[in-house]
Amino acid sequence: MSFSADVITLFPELFPGPLGASVIGRGLGEGLWSLKVTQLRDFATDRHRTVDDTPAGGGPGMVIRADVAAAALDSIPLDNRPRLLMTPRGEQLTQKKARLWSKGDGLVIFCARYEGVDERIIKARNLIPVSIGDYVLSGGEVAAMALLESCVRLLPNVMGSDMSGVEESFENGALEYAHFTRPAEFEEQKIPEVLLSGNHSKISAWRDEEALTTTLKLRPDLLKGR
């Protein structure tokens, strides 16, 4: 069974977007994973196709109604796929989560808009709030694309080499080592000699040290507890 993604959004025309390009798009075309997009507005009950209302207690913006969100979610057959809500109030996406989800049957993703969704829908439909970082976007669509790409690229046969998903940042609790390629010299900067030595044990040791040094400099928080 391939990885199956269902996305609920007010802007289905945004998909597949970047998910239709490069190795991710090729995997989609080859059936290694599938994508279905549902228009949230189709589940509005009034003639104006209203999906939102003013915040209880007052304040700016609008909030997506729980009943409309529930109807959209209920239109997707209930299975063992996690149901996610893209929101800056969620737990942050990590490589560990992406790898875990990539091993499942897929994901159902609700893309929030406006000020967000009625809080009651989270409990009522067991949604998992997920954020892609400590900043705010206009909606959950771009976040959903980032999350799906982080999962789909880890599926078997999507990337050219299985090692491409192993030797990279966050897989081993650190940032990835620096990379080099031809020309051997660029603007008076040379490729480190060890990488041209052909000595694989020395190259491996250099890469481990480079990864640790880079992580200590840029993301020391990743090394806590190691």
Going by C-alpha positions, the residue among 110, 103, 68, 105 that lies closest to residue 87 is 110
pLDDT above 90 coverage of the chain, percent: 92
CATH architecture of residue range(s) 3-152:
3-Layer(aba) Sandwich (3.40)
**Model pLDDT for residues 13-57, shown as the tens digit of each residue:** 999 999 999 999 999 999 999 999 999 999 999 999 999 999 999
CB 216 within 8 Å of CB 175: no
**Model pLDDT for residues 131-189, shown as the tens digit of each residue:** 999 999 999 999 999 999 999 999 999 997 555 555 666 777 899 999 999 999 999 99
- Position 205 confidence tier, pLDDT thresholds 50, 70, 90: very high
Instruction: Write the burial class of residue 86 (CB in 10 Å: 0-12 exposed, 13-18 middle, 19+ buried).
Output: buried
Query: Average pLDDT of the chain?
Result: 94
What single DSSP character describes residue 167?
A: S
Q: CATH for 167-223?
A: 1.10.1270.20
Q: What is the 3-state secondary structure (H, E, C) of 199-224?
A: CHHHHHHHHHHHHHHHHHHHCHHHHC
- Domain positions in the chain are 3-152, 167-223
